[in-house]
């Protein structure tokens, strides 16, 4: 287990893993294998598991603090453990209630609430903050009815089954958590499709869409609209200095989309002809601000000036429960200046022979830009479209408030 | 990693040869010793590869790069201070990396890179192509492309044994050295195959001229001579390289002996190729100046991801703030202190009031007092700098203490644990160490041994008391070798040898002083002026002075006149040689022709010059009276008639000869003037000059001034006679 984690940490440290989606997926997979190999004590299983994951998560986050997807997934997994724990205890308590002989559902619920500690109530209250999808509501019911039956059947031979019961609940917790993490990995893998499904609602006939750089999500989104027989035109700002827009243009043309490539500096000139700006993001912060490839702020400002909707596509793994403090510096990565200039060409400008020893030429190559929430018209995530001011609410659905600071506590 | 491995295995099944290549893991040899003394006195106590470069040991940069470039097995060759290197590698986690094995090879007798490679050859550990670097290389290049090219060439031609990595980097036109402080490098490369044909890294020996073997031009359709490239000292070698070193046991230096040896040797036909990198970074720390330059490059992030805020290996978490300020955690900094741009501060360092630090690197655990100024310095770990010190462009090693008020002038190097006394000013470019300077000047290739067992036994141990140390010193070196670094200071200032002092500024961390630049500029100006004045002394092999291209048109005319004078002298010299050494006419013709081509002269000029030489010869022969002189002329002309005739193929050239003769009579050889007609007649008789030429000459002169007509008048009778003769012929 350690070897696996260490290898992943080294890769993160050396910046060998790029892109928030791959990072998120790999993080989730590493955590899953950690959970499955974690030996749990008899009591306070959830706490032990949470603490172990926290320890690993802390290291992972430190390995590449700029890649926020790592922290997001660690927090998501922690939240999953909490939820599964709560639902298991609730089920167990509920099971006791049933075995006590009450037939009425409502009574059971009330009994539950009386039996639970204050913390559990709080957790349950948070539990209700989960995305209010019908599926989860439906899933909850069979679980709570299924569990009691096993426990009641085990209740017949009460004395000897006590330890076996514990064992089964420990396995149960692990099993449930792993199931949920699997679901999370599934979600990450399919987030493009989920977002792309909504494309038809946003892109209409004969529209002009502008995008910057290369985002897989954006590409899938545009292609989905194309597949639904919408005909529209795409302007691609090339995204200096990495020029990933070129790759995007290639892909779009291969899928038969009308594509125009422009320089980043031509965005303002072209924006009045554009109906909508659709871009990808590196991370969405809790206040609705967006960390995105460099140049995005300029596009957002241009869009605001001409009242063009600025739409940001982001999978749920990109939602980050942190607030951006000093985002230009703390949440940025300065890449090699070699992406901008050829070192050899400028080698004579880089002589450090001025009297103070400071170079006359300095080249700065930040990877990210910060787009404040007031410039974003709409976020489209796997779960649908949201306003920037709603993001904190959405984020509260996915993360527990206890996990915002990921730090290992000593095991009690 | 796992996926990658599986992929390569899958491919291997398809092709047997491919499999063979894919299965041998990529190996690299790191020479953890530079076999030079450029970093003395620091390297007396610690090997160069462990010196901190922006707060991480140099070898970490090399290893991290090799690891990320996909190298699987690394052999670290340790020599000087081998124990320290091995201890360090033990302590760090390099030994326990997945898919990356590090093995050390220890030796105490190797005194050069050649010895090291011979030793590695004997160990039979290298199985395929390998990367050869030294442990002070900083790079982020990807090796895959260069490796692919190398392997492809190998498949076609097994003699392509080595691929050298080069990078564009312009040398300063003034100091003739690169930004890394190395000499200007000249390389000849075949632009199509990228084969390296010539390599010269010692610009000083060239004295402004570069001579290439003619054969380069005969065997290659095109070559390009490059002086804006930097040698990265990253070589992709075939296993043959090791056996070549073993075969040629006198090979020591990788470049001076091996590369040049292979380039010159055309019997075995081994070839070296070059691979140029553009966007990625590669450089080697060779001297203090390159230490300075590469540190700055790292701080400016050209080496990304090998930068302080990325934890590429074992370095502590550092945060990058605005304007290139790198800060490790746990820094105690007074609010009144100023930390300028492009500065790195290590963890656990405390900085006092009103202290200013700019463009510097400060290591871990340093304590810096109040009112200190630090400008463009490299301060390593656990250094104590007391209040009011001033540091400029210096390197301060681990454990140094600077008492309050001490100051360092540019270019100073303070080695480990030196103490600089109160208010002491360390003069520029001085190196201070606890070790005594070795008395005899060692050769370049000398080893840097300072293991406990050998080398420094005569040096005092740090822990000894001051008096005792002084005692010891006195007994060993009676003359003025007491500590000379101020009140309470500990350390010896190393004297720089007379010759070295001049060059000290070239390789130091300090910027080149302006007056030095001006001085060099003047010298180089003088040098370029020289050929103008002494043009006559240029060797006749077609070397062009640097000025001949840049001259403006005004000077062109002068140049041509100069050229014709030079040309005449050259012809005369050739002719004289021919007379003395009895060279046949054919050979003289050949030589004169080549002169004519190199000076771009007409054949008429040749005729004139040659005639001049012949007449001069006749004149030089002993004679008393005009009569004897005439006889001399007759005999000489008879002897060289064939030669003269060769160049007198048309009337124009004959006229030129007459004009030349006239000029001679007027200026250089007045003895001939009474004999003008006689000799002219003789030349006519000998069929050297035809009558048309004489007549044309006469008619040409008709319009000239009186003074010019002396000889026409003299020869009037002769001309008259000629005219009549021709008329008679016409009548016939």
pLDDT band for position B275 (50/70/90)?
A: very high
| Choice among A397-401, B209-213, B404-408 with the minimum mean pLDDT | B209-213
pLDDT band for position B449 (50/70/90)?
A: very low
Nearest to A369 by CA among A300, A314, A271: A300
Span B274-299, mean pLDDT?
A: 90
**pLDDT at position B264, please?**
82
**pLDDT at position A17, please?**
84
- Which residue of B2, B180, B301, B317 to mutate against A (max A Cβ within 10 Å)? B301
CA-nearest residue to A62 within chain B is B317
The CATH architecture to which B316-448+463-507 belongs is 3 Solenoid (2.160)
pLDDT digits 0-9 by tens, A247-300:
999 999 999 999 999 999 999 999 999 999 999 999 999 999 999 999 999 999
Across all residues in chain B, what is the average pLDDT? 78
d(CA B84, CA B190): 43
Q: B309 to chain A nearest CA, in Å?
A: 9
d(CA A399, CA A337): 37
d(CA A384, CA A202): 11
Nearest to A203 by CA among A230, A163, A167: A230
pLDDT digits 0-9 by tens, B78-125:
888 888 999 998 888 788 777 888 989 988 888 888 888 888 998 888
pLDDT band for position A135 (50/70/90)?
A: low
Q: Which of residues 263 through 322 in chain A touch B, CB cutoff 8 A?
A: none
pLDDT at B515 exceeding the cut of 50:
yes
Which residues partner with B177 through β-bridges?
A: B183
Span A370-378, mean pLDDT?
A: 94
**pLDDT at position A288, please?**
92
Q: How many residues does chain B have?
A: 732
d(CA A45, CA B178): 64
| Choice among A53-62, B20-29, B106-115 with the minimum mean pLDDT | B20-29
Nearest to B188 by CA among B159, B155, B166: B166
pLDDT band for position B279 (50/70/90)?
A: confident
Predicted ipTM of the assembly: 0.78
Q: Are A287 and A333 in contact (CB under 8 A)?
A: no
d(CA A221, CA A219): 5
What structural domains does chain A harbor?
2-190 (no CATH), 198-332+367-403 (3.40.50.10470)
Residue with tokens 């099971």: A95
**pLDDT at position A272, please?**
94
| Choice among B137-146, B204-213, B348-357, B555-564 with the minimum mean pLDDT | B555-564
pLDDT at A210 exceeding the cut of 90:
yes
CA B330 to chain centre: 45
Integer angstrom CA distances of residue B524 from A91, B175, B386, B572, B715: 91, 9, 44, 34, 56
Q: Are A148 and A95 in contact (CB under 8 A)?
A: yes
**pLDDT at position A405, please?**
82
* B130-B266-B229 Cα angle (round to 5): 55
Integer angstrom CA distances of residue A59 from A5, A22, A81, A322, B327: 9, 18, 19, 18, 20
Nearest to A225 by CA among A213, A209, A211, A248: A209
pLDDT band for position B205 (50/70/90)?
A: low
Nearest to B715 by CA among B663, B670, B679, B671: B679
d(CA B532, CA B519): 21
**pLDDT at position B554, please?**
43
pLDDT at A116 exceeding the cut of 70:
no
Write the DSSP symbol of residue B317. P
d(CA B319, CA B329): 8
CA-nearest residue to A339 within chain B is B279
Secondary structure (3-state) at B663: helix
Higher pLDDT, B126 or A106: B126
pLDDT band for position B330 (50/70/90)?
A: confident
pLDDT at A39 exceeding the cut of 90:
no
Q: Which two tokens stand for residue A5?
A: 């984690």
Span A150-161, mean pLDDT?
A: 43
Nearest to A82 by CA among A404, A402, A393: A402
| Half-sphere exposure for B298 (CA within 13 Å, toward CB) | 30
pLDDT digits 0-9 by tens, B580-607:
777 777 777 888 788 777 777 777 777 7
Q: A347 to chain B nearest CA, in Å?
A: 5
Q: In what order do the strands lie in the sheet with B401-402?
A: B332-333, B350-351, B367-368, B384-385, B401-402, B419-420
Which of A91-95, B367-371, B594-598 has the highest average model confidence (pLDDT)? B367-371
CATH class of B2-289: alpha beta
**pLDDT at position B604, please?**
75
d(CA B436, CA B477): 10
Q: What is the pTM of this model?
A: 0.72
pLDDT band for position A133 (50/70/90)?
A: low
| Choice among A325-334, B104-113, B515-524, B582-591 with the minimum mean pLDDT | A325-334
**pLDDT at position A119, please?**
47
d(CA A288, CA A381): 13
Using an 8 Å CB-CB cutoff, list chain B residues near A343: 167-169, 278-279, 281, 302
CA-nearest residue to B65 within chain A is A14
pLDDT at B536 exceeding the cut of 80:
no
Phi, psi (degrees; rounded to nearest 5) at B424? -90, 135
d(CA B336, CA B322): 18
Q: Are B103 and B74 in contact (CB under 8 A)?
A: yes
CA B508 to chain centre: 18
Using an 8 Å CB-CB cutoff, list chain A residues near B376: 352, 356-358
Nearest to B117 by CA among B257, B218, B216: B257
Q: Which two tokens stand for residue A215?
A: 């985002």
Q: Are A148 and A91 in contact (CB under 8 A)?
A: yes
Residue B338, C-beta contacts closer than 8 angstroms, at least 6 positions apart: B355, B356, B357, B358
- Label each residue of chain A as H, E or C: CHHHHHHHHHHHHCCCCCCHHHHHHHHHHHHHHHHHHCCCCCCCHHHHHHHHHHHHHHHHHHHCCCCHHHHHHHHHHHHHHHHHHHHHHHHHHHHHHHHCCCCCHHHHHHHHHHHCCHHHHHHHHHHCCCCCCHHHHHHHHHHHHHHHHHHHHHHHHHHHHHHHHHHHHHHHHHHHHHHHHHHHHHHHHHHHHHHHHCHHHHCCCCCEEEEECCCHHHHHHHHHHHHCCCCCEEEEECCCCCCHHHHHHHHHHHCCCEEEEECHHHHHHHHHHCCEEEEECCEECCCCCEEEECCHHHHHHHHHHCCCCEEEECCHHHECCCCCCCHHHHCCCECCHHHCCCCCCCCCCCCCCCCCCCCCCCCCCECEEEECHHHCCEEEECCEEECHHHHHHHHHHHCCHHHCCCCCCCCC
Cβ-Cβ pairs closer than 8 A, A with B, add up to: 106
| Choice among A369-383, A397-411, B181-195 with the minimum mean pLDDT | A397-411
* B443-B447-B450 Cα angle (round to 5): 130
Nearest to B430 by CA among B404, B410, B445, B455: B410
Q: Which two tokens stand for residue B434?
A: 């606890």
**pLDDT at position B482, please?**
61
Cβ B167–A335 below 8 Å, yes or no? no
Sign of the CA dihedral with B531 first, then B535, B540, and B542 last: positive
Integer angstrom CA distances of residue B430 from B57, B382, B484: 24, 22, 12
Smallest Cβ distance to B98: which of A3, A329, A357?
A3
A3 in contact with chain B, both atoms CB, cutoff 8 A: yes
Smallest Cβ distance to A13: which of B312, B320, B376?
B312
A18 in contact with chain B, both atoms CB, cutoff 8 A: no
Q: In what order do the strands lie in the sheet with B356-358?
A: B338-339, B356-358, B373-375, B390-392, B407-408, B425-426
Span A61-80, mean pLDDT?
A: 89
Span B485-496, mean pLDDT?
A: 80
Smallest Cβ distance to B278: which of A336, A342, A355?
A342
Residue B145, C-beta contacts closer than 8 angstroms, at least 6 positions apart: B275
Higher pLDDT, A348 or A364: A364
**pLDDT at position A265, please?**
94
pLDDT band for position A374 (50/70/90)?
A: very high
Higher pLDDT, B334 or B215: B334
d(CA A369, CA A293): 6
Do the domains at B2-289 and B555-731 have one common CATH topology?
no
Cβ A13–B311 below 8 Å, yes or no? yes
A22 in contact with chain B, both atoms CB, cutoff 8 A: no
Topology classification of domain B555-731: 1.25.40
Span A232-236, mean pLDDT?
A: 95
pLDDT band for position A95 (50/70/90)?
A: low
Cβ burial of B151 (10 Å; 0-12, 13-18, 19+) is middle
**pLDDT at position B357, please?**
92
Secondary structure (3-state) at B43: helix
| Choice among A53-57, A85-89, B436-440, B645-649 with the minimum mean pLDDT | B436-440
Higher pLDDT, B385 or B563: B385
Cβ A336–B302 below 8 Å, yes or no? yes
- Which residue of A14, A357, A360 to mutate against B (max B Cβ within 10 Å)? A357
d(CA A210, CA A198): 18
**pLDDT at position B6, please?**
38
Q: A315 to chain B nearest CA, in Å?
A: 26
Cβ B302–A343 below 8 Å, yes or no? yes
Helix (H) or strand (E) holding B245: helix B240-247
d(CA B279, CA A344): 8
d(CA B449, CA B455): 6
pLDDT at B18 exceeding the cut of 80:
no
pLDDT band for position B172 (50/70/90)?
A: confident
d(CA B29, CA B132): 5
Q: Which two tokens stand for residue B20?
A: 């063979």
Cβ A344–B172 below 8 Å, yes or no? no
Cβ B376–A356 below 8 Å, yes or no? yes
Q: Where are the alpha helices (DSSP H) in B272-394?
A: 288-299
CA-nearest residue to B321 within chain A is A329
**pLDDT at position B654, please?**
80
Residue A134, C-beta contacts closer than 8 angstroms, at least 6 positions apart: none
Segments making up each domain of chain B, as ranges: 2-289, 316-448+463-507, 555-731
CA A136 to chain centre: 20
Cβ A334–B301 below 8 Å, yes or no? yes
Percent of chain B with pLDDT over 90: 19
- The string over A304-315, giving b where at least 16 C-beta atoms fall within 10 Å of a residue's C-beta and e elsewhere, is beeebebbbbbb
**pLDDT at position B477, please?**
41
Nearest to B424 by CA among B343, B484, B368, B382: B484
Across all residues in chain A, what is the average pLDDT? 81
- Which residue of A344, A345, A346, A359 to mutate against B (max B Cβ within 10 Å)? A344
Q: In what order do the strands lie in the sheet with A290-293?
A: A283-284, A290-293, A368-371
Residue with tokens 């802390």: A58
Using an 8 Å CB-CB cutoff, list chain A residues near B328: none
Q: B305 to chain A nearest CA, in Å?
A: 7
Using an 8 Å CB-CB cutoff, list chain B residues near A346: none
Using an 8 Å CB-CB cutoff, list chain A residues near B310: 13-15
**pLDDT at position B501, please?**
57
Q: A61 to chain B nearest CA, in Å?
A: 12
Span B634-653, mean pLDDT?
A: 78
| Choice among A19-33, A106-120, B183-197, B611-625 with the minimum mean pLDDT | A106-120
**pLDDT at position A318, please?**
92
């Amino acid at each position: 287990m350690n070897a696996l984690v260490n290898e992943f940490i080294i890769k993160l440290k050396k910046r060998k893993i790029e892109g928030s989606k791959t990072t998120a997926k790999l993080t989730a997979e590493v955590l899953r294998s950690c959970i499955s190999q974690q030996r749990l004590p008899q009591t306070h299983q959830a706490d032990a598991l949470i603490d172990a994951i926290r320890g690993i998560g802390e290291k992972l986050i430190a390995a590449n603090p700029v890649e926020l997807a790592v922290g997001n997934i660690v927090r998501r997994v922690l939240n999953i453990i909490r939820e599964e724990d709560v639902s298991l205890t609730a089920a167990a308590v509920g099971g006791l209630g049933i075995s006590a002989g009450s037939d009425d559902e409502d009574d059971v619920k009330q009994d539950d609430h009386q039996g639970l500690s204050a913390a559990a109530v709080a957790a349950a209250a948070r539990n209700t903050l989960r995305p209010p999808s019908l599926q989860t509501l439906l899933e909850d019911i069979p679980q709570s009815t299924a569990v009691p039956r096993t426990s009641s059947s085990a209740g017949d031979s009460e004395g000897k089954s006590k330890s076996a019961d514990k064992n089964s609940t420990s396995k149960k917790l692990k099993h449930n958590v792993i199931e949920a993490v699997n679901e999370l990995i599934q979600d990450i893998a399919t987030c493009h499709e989920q977002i792309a499904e909504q494309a038809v609602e946003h892109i209409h006939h004969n529209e002009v869409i502008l995008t910057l750089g290369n985002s897989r999500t954006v590409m899938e989104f545009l292609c989905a609209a194309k597949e639904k027989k919408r005909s529209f035109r795409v302007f691609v700002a090339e995204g200096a200095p990495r020029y990933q827009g070129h790759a995007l243009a290639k892909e779009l043309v291969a899928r038969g989309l009308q594509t125009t490539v422009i320089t980043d500096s031509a965005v303002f000139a072209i924006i009045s002809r554009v109906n909508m700006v659709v871009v990808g993001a590196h991370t969405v912060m809790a206040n609705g601000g967006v960390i995105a490839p460099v140049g995005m702020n300029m596009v957002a400002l241009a869009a605001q000036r001409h009242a063009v909707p600025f739409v940001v596509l982001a999978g749920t793994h990109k939602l980050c429960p942190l607030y951006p403090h000093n985002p230009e510096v703390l949440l940025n990565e300065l890449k090699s200046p070699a992406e901008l200039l050829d070192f050899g060409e400028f080698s004579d400008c880089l002589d450090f022979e001025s009297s103070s020893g400071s170079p006359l030429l300095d080249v700065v190559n930040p990877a990210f830009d910060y787009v404040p929430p007031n410039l974003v018209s709409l976020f489209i995530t796997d779960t649908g479209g949201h306003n920037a001011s709603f993001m904190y609410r959405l984020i509260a659905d996915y993360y527990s408030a206890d996990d915002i600071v990921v730090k290992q506590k000593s095991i009690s | 990693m796992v996926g990658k491995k599986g992929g390569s295995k899958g491919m291997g099944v398809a092709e047997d040869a491919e499999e063979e290549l894919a299965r041998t893991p990529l190996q690299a040899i790191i020479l953890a010793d530079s076999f030079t003394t450029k970093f003395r006195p620091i390297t007396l106590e610690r090997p160069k590869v462990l010196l901190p470069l922006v707060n991480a040991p140099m070898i970490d940069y090399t290893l991290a790069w090799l690891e990320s470039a996909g190298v699987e097995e690394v052999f670290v060759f340790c020599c000087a201070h081998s124990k320290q290197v091995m201890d360090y590698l033990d302590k760090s986690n390099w030994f326990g990396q997945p898919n990356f094995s590090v093995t050390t090879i220890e030796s105490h007798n190797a005194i050069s890179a050649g010895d090291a490679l011979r030793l590695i050859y004997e160990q039979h550990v290298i199985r395929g192509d390998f990367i050869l670097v030294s442990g002070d290389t900083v790079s982020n290049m990807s090796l895959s492309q260069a490796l692919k090219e190398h392997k492809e060439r190998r498949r076609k031609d097994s003699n392509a044994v080595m691929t050298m990595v080069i990078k564009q980097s312009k040398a300063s036109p003034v100091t003739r050295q690169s930004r890394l402080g190395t000499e200007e490098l000249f390389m000849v490369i075949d632009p199509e195959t990228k084969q390296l044909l010539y390599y010269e890294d010692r610009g000083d020996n060239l004295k402004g001229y570069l001579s290439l073997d003619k054969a380069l031009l005969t065997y290659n359709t095109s070559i390009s001579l490059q002086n804006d490239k930097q040698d990265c000292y990253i070589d992709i070698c075939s296993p043959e390289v090791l056996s070549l070193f073993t075969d040629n046991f006198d090979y020591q230096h990788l470049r001076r002996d091996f590369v040049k040896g292979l380039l010159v040797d055309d019997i075995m036909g081994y070839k070296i190729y070059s691979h140029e990198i553009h966007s990625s970074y590669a450089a080697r720390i060779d001297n203090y100046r390159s230490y300075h330059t590469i540190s700055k490059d790292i701080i400016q992030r050209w080496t990304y991801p090998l930068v302080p805020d990325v934890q590429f290996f074992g370095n502590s978490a550092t945060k990058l703030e605005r304007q290139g300020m790198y800060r490790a955690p746990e820094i105690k900094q007074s609010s009144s202190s100023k930390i300028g741009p492009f500065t790195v501060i290590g963890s656990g360092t405390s900085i006092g009031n009103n202290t200013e630090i700019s463009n510097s690197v400060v290591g871990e655990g340093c304590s810096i007092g109040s009112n200190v100024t630090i400008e463009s310095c490299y301060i390593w770990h656990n250094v104590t700098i007391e209040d009011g010190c001033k540091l400029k462009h210096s390197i301060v090693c681990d454990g140094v203490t600077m008492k309050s008020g001490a100051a360092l002038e540019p270019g100073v190097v303070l080695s480990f644990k030196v103490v600089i006394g109160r208010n002491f000013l360390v003069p520029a470019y001085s190196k201070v160490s606890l070790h005594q300077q070795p008395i005899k000047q060692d050769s370049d290739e000398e080893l840097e041994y300072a293991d406990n067992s050998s080398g420094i036994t005569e040096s005092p141990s740090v822990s000894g008391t001051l008096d005792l140390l002084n005692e010891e010193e006195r007994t060993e070196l009676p003359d003025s070798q007491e500590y000379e670094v101020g009140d309470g200071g500990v350390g010896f200032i190393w004297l720089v040898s007379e010759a070295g002092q001049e060059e000290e500024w070239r390789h130091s961390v300090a910027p080149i002083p302006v007056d030095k630049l001006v001085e060099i500029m003047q010298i180089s100006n003088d040098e370029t002026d020289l050929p103008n004045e002494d043009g006559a002394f240029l060797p006749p092999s077609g070397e062009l002075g640097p000025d001949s291209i840049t001259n403006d048109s005004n000077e062109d005319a002068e140049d041509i006149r100069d050229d014709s004078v030079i040309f005449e002298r050259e012809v005369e010299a050739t002719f004289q040689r021919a007379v003395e050494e009895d060279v046949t006419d054919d050979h003289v013709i050949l030589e004169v022709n080549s002169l004519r081509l190199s000076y771009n002269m007409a054949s008429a000029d040749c005729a004139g010059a040659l005639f001049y030489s012949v007449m001069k010869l006749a004149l030089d022969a002993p004679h008393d009276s005009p009569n004897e002189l005439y006889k001399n002329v007759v005999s000489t002309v008879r002897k060289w008639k064939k030669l003269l005739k060769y160049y007198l193929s048309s009337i124009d050239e004959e006229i030129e000869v007459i004009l030349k003769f006239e000029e001679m009579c007027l200026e250089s050889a007045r003895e001939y003037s009474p004999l003008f007609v006689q000799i002219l007649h003789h030349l006519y008789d000998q069929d050297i000059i035809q009558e048309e030429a004489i007549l044309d000459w006469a008619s040409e002169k008709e319009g000239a001034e009186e003074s010019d007509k002396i000889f026409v008048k003299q020869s009037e009778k002769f001309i008259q006679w000629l005219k009549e003769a021709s008329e008679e012929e016409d009548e016939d």
